[in-house]
């Protein structure tokens, strides 16, 4: 009898587990654009368009390869409106009782598939270097999970940048050579954009009509929507940007949102690029002498290190991960995250860029929007839903540990050993934002003081019990304790006044 083979919007490769286990001669592939998935958070219109366009093209490719595909469009009059609903509808129509699916990257969907009154086989998603069992084994018995140790295991497992059992260059990690601020006149050729073809334009019209109120600019749309297009973007990155990737990885420039970043996270997450393949090809650039080791090691670490590590954490920690709030933060997400005016130039740039491109690089996410939310004590659940909504690459398995763990410390220290907080000095060092700001980054108190300078100490002071014993934070507390009490009082009063203005809905 026919079996239903579910392919979700981020499983767009013939190498996905469900397709490998299925039989194209008898099984029916089910793919569905559904209102449920398109609206469980208010996704950026570019993100919705990317998923729908890439799904349509992948369905075409499967048909060309001889598969039977039942593809539901968002405006299909018969749609059940949800993934489980679509499976039930096709089961009733075909008499199928069995479903083969690749485990979704969100607990929400895993639960819904597991609850279906059909015989559902959920296969592990093997598009990753580490399986669930490998990560669990690595994690078991460790007091703290640290990416760096896990990363070394992944280097050994893949053989990437290894000479026998030793790392090439004699070091595992070349981060001390990286993290340079970008000079203002830094020039990088533009990233490669892919103009919409007719199929993509049709999707853009649909998204425009159905999601008119979602935060974010739909056009211009320049994401690739198939594997060949994603491959062109990656090849362009290898030749134009990889050699400088490490040097300017943490830099931020108001006029250049992309710098030397790869812009491939969405393609990796949707299945249009293969993580191990991109790492091997970056390694080959180093081997051929076209890119330095610090750049290539840094790039590979992001993928087989951070990307694999956060996935391991998401599945190890379980479905309650997104409800965690270790620091008890409960402030509403301020409207500035949705584009309301702010006098803080760094936030204004990061949010405007997010609205226009559905992209921000790691340091903008971590040290601007994330840092501010953490210092201001915003409810981590609201912060999580914002990140899940606004970025083109956001799927919960990768977004939640980055947001709730690395950025908001809401998991109490599973992902990071200390919170990523900084005063304005860090943003000033790594960016050119401050010179165009209404606030003074050098001022530590008074009405013009940079809010990061005030909130940084307010955060440390209000969470003293939790953090003062943390050896990685001892220096921060020593600096605070050496500060003159009158100055401490002025900083805390300034921070409180700022938070009051934020709560009152003022444009801070
Ligand atoms: P590059 O800087 O060029 O890096 C190359 C690749 O490394 C990326 O494409 C990505 O696949 C991988 N990578 C780098 N850092 C990380 C990381 N911390 N975790 C996982 N993979 C990483 N990444 C997502 O893919 N989806 C998300 O929803 C997401 N949400 C985030 C939320 C917050 C609060 C933070 C701090 C980070 C988040 N990241 C997320 C990680 C990172 O910011 C993006 O992967 C990166 O900015 C993507 O741009 P790029 O392709 O140009 O990356
Ligand atoms: C993000 C997204 C969107 C916007 N739309 C769909 C959809 O209509 N159909 C679908 O199969 N998947 C979609 N996705 C991705 C899912 O919401 C979900 O994030 C992943 O499939 C989890 O692995
Ligand atoms: Fe941001 Fe402060 Fe710099 Fe203004 S002065 S851009 S608020 S860090």
Q: List pocket residues of ligand 1, CB cut-off 6 Å.
A: 261-265, 268-269, 299, 302-303, 306-307, 310, 361-362, 365-366, 370, 387, 391, 393-394, 398-399, 402-403, 406-407
Pick the more confident residue, 256 or 200: 200
Length of the chain: 508
The CA distance from 218 to 240, in Å, is 27
User: Within this chain, do residues 9 and 114 fall inside the same structural domain, yes or no?
Assistant: yes
Distance 116 CA to ligand 2 centre (A): 18
The CA distance from 415 to 267, in Å, is 24
351 lines ligand 3 (CB under 6 A): no
pLDDT of 187 higher than 90: no
What confidence tens digit (pLDDT) does each residue in 441-454 have? 999 999 899 999 99
Query: Which residue range(s) make up the domain with 105?
Result: 4-123
User: Within this chain, do residues 163 and 275 fall inside the same structural domain, yes or no?
Assistant: yes
Strands, E, within 26-97: which ranges? 28-32, 68-72
> Averaged over 122-139, what is the pLDDT?
98
Q: What CATH number does the domain containing 259 carry?
A: 1.25.40.80
Q: Which residues contact 474 (CB under 8 A, 6 or more apart)?
A: 468
Distance 439 CA to ligand 3 centre (A): 6
The CA distance from 380 to 367, in Å, is 15
In a domain, 399, yes or no: yes
pLDDT of 177 higher than 90: no
In a domain, 220, yes or no: no
Average per-residue pLDDT for the chain: 96
437 lines ligand 3 (CB under 6 A): yes
367 lines ligand 3 (CB under 6 A): no
Tell which atom from ligand 1 comes closest to the C-alpha of 311. Answer: 20
Tell which atom from ligand 1 comes closest to the C-alpha of 406. Answer: 36
pLDDT classification of 44: cutoffs 50, 70, 90: very high
Q: What is the pLDDT of residue 180?
A: 79
Q: What is the pLDDT of residue 445?
A: 95
Q: Which of 348, 350, 434 to mutate to test the pocket of ligand 3 (most atoms within 8 A of CB)?
A: 434
Tell which atom from ligand 2 comes closest to the C-alpha of 32. Answer: 9
pLDDT of 307 higher than 90: yes
Place of tokens 């159905």: 210
Helices (H), 318-423: 345-357, 362-364, 371-375, 380-390, 396-400
User: Within this chain, do residues 293 and 392 fall inside the same structural domain, yes or no?
Assistant: no
Distance 238 CA to ligand 2 centre (A): 29
Q: What is the pLDDT of residue 322?
A: 98
**For the whole model, what pTM was predicted?**
0.98
Helices (H), 65-146: 83-94, 107-114, 132-139
In a domain, 223, yes or no: no
Q: What is the pLDDT of residue 175?
A: 85
Helix H or strand E segment including 6:
strand 4-6
The CA distance from 71 to 41, in Å, is 23
Provide the 8-state DSSP code for 97: -
Q: What is the pLDDT of residue 394?
A: 98
**406 in Cβ contact with 366 (< 8 Å):** yes
Q: What CATH number does the domain containing 45 carry?
A: 3.40.50.620
Last residue of a domain, one of 123, 143, 175: 123
User: Within this chain, do residues 305 and 343 fall inside the same structural domain, yes or no?
Assistant: no
441 lines ligand 3 (CB under 6 A): yes
Q: What is the pLDDT of residue 452?
A: 98
> Averaged over 342-350, what is the pLDDT?
98
Other CB atoms within 10 A of residue 207 CB: 26
Q: What CATH number does the domain containing 393 carry?
A: 1.10.579.10
In a domain, 381, yes or no: yes
Residue 370 CA to its chain's centroid (Å) = 12
Q: Number of folded domains in the chain?
A: 3
Integer angstrom CA distances of residue 365 from 85, 327, 370: 35, 20, 6
Q: Which bound ligand lies closest to the C-alpha atom of 242?
A: 1
Residue 414 CA to its chain's centroid (Å) = 17
* pLDDT above 90: percentage of residues in the chain: 95
344 lines ligand 3 (CB under 6 A): yes
User: Within this chain, do residues 110 and 86 fall inside the same structural domain, yes or no?
Assistant: yes
What confidence tens digit (pLDDT) does each residue in 57-106 have? 999 999 999 999 999 999 999 999 999 999 999 999 999 999 999 999 99
In a domain, 218, yes or no: no
User: Within this chain, do residues 308 and 386 fall inside the same structural domain, yes or no?
Assistant: no
The CA distance from 196 to 46, in Å, is 12
**353 in Cβ contact with 364 (< 8 Å):** yes
Closest C-alpha residue for ligand 3 atom 3: 434
350 lines ligand 3 (CB under 6 A): no
User: Within this chain, do residues 112 and 177 fall inside the same structural domain, yes or no?
Assistant: no
Q: How far apart are the first and last CA of the chain?
A: 63
User: Within this chain, do residues 119 and 149 fall inside the same structural domain, yes or no?
Assistant: no
Distance 100 CA to ligand 2 centre (A): 17
Distance 505 CA to ligand 1 centre (A): 31
In a domain, 83, yes or no: yes
427 lines ligand 3 (CB under 6 A): yes
Q: Which of 223, 247, 265 to mutate to test the pocket of ligand 1 (most atoms within 8 A of CB)?
A: 265
pLDDT classification of 29: cutoffs 50, 70, 90: very high
Tokens linked to 142 = 């460790």
User: Within this chain, do residues 37 and 97 fall inside the same structural domain, yes or no?
Assistant: yes
User: Within this chain, do residues 273 and 163 fall inside the same structural domain, yes or no?
Assistant: yes
Last residue of a domain, one of 280, 313, 346: 313
Other CB atoms within 10 A of residue 472 CB: 11
User: Within this chain, do residues 170 and 276 fall inside the same structural domain, yes or no?
Assistant: yes
Last residue of a domain, one of 100, 123, 146: 123
Tell which atom from ligand 1 comes closest to the C-alpha of 262. Answer: 3
**107 in Cβ contact with 58 (< 8 Å):** no
In a domain, 231, yes or no: no
Tell which atom from ligand 3 comes closest to the C-alpha of 347. Answer: 1
User: Within this chain, do residues 159 and 284 fall inside the same structural domain, yes or no?
Assistant: yes
109 lines ligand 2 (CB under 6 A): yes
48 lines ligand 2 (CB under 6 A): yes
In a domain, 329, yes or no: no
């Amino acid at each position: 009898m026919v079996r239903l083979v579910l392919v979700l919007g981020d499983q767009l490769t013939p190498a996905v587990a469900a397709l490998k286990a299925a039989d194209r001669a008898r099984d029916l592939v089910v793919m569905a654009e559904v209102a449920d998935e398109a609206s469980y958070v208010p996704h950026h219109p570019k993100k919705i368009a990317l998923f729908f366009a890439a799904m349509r093209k992948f369905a075409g490719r499967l048909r060309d390869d001889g598969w039977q595909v039942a593809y539901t469009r968002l405006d299909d009059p018969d749609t059940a409106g949800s993934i489980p609903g679509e499976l039930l509808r096709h089961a009733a129509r075909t008499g199928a009782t069995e479903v083969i699916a690749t485990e979704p990257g969100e607990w929400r969907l895993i639960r819904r598939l597991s609850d279906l009154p059909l015989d559902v086989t959920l296969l592990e998603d093997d598009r990753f270097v580490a399986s669930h069992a490998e990560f669990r084994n690595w994690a078991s018995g460790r007091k703290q999970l640290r990416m760096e140790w896990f990363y070394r295991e992944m280097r050994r497992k893949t053989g990437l940048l290894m000479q026998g059992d030793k790392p090439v260059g004699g070091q595992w990690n070349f981060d001390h050579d990286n993290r340079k601020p970008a000079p203002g006149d830094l020039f990088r050729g533009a990233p490669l954009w892919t103009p919409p073809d007719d199929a993509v334009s049709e999707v853009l019209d649909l998204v425009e009509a159905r999601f008119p109120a979602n935060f974010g600019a739909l056009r211009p749309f320049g994401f690739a929507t198939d594997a060949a297009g994603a491959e062109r973007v990656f090849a362009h990155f290898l030749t134009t940007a990889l050699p400088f990737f490490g040097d300017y990885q943490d830099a931020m420039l108001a006029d250049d949102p992309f710098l030397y970043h790869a812009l491939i996270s969405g393609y990796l997450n949707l299945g249009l690029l293969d993580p191990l393949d991109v790492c091997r090809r970056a390694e080959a650039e180093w081997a051929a002498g076209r890119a330095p080791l610090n750049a290539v090691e840094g790039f590979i670490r992001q993928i087989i290190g951070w990307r694999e590590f956060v996935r391991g954490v998401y599945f190890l920690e379980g479905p309650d991960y997104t409800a965690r709030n270790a620091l008890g933060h409960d402030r509403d997400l301020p409207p500035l995250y949705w584009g309301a005016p702010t006098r803080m130039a760094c936030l204004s740039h990061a949010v405007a860029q997010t609205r226009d491109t559905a992209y921000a690089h790691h340091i903008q996410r971590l040290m601007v929007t994330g840092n501010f939310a953490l210092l201001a004590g915003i409810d981590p659940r609201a912060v999580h839903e914002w990140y899940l909504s606004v970025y083109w690459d956001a799927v919960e398995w990768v977004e939640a540990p980055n947001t709730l763990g690395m950025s908001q410390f809401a998991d109490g220290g599973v992902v990071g050993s200390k919170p990523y907080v900084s005063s304005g000095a860090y943003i000033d060092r790594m960016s050119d934002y401050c010179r165009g700001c209404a606030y003074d980054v050098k001022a530590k108190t008074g009405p013009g003081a940079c809010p990061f300078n005030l909130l940084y100490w307010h955060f440390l002071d209000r969470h003293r019990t939790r953090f003062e014993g943390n050896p990685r934070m001892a220096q921060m507390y020593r600096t605070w304790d050496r500060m003159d009490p009158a100055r401490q009082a002025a900083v805390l009063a300034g921070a409180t006044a700022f938070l009051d203005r934020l709560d009152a809905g003022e444009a801070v």
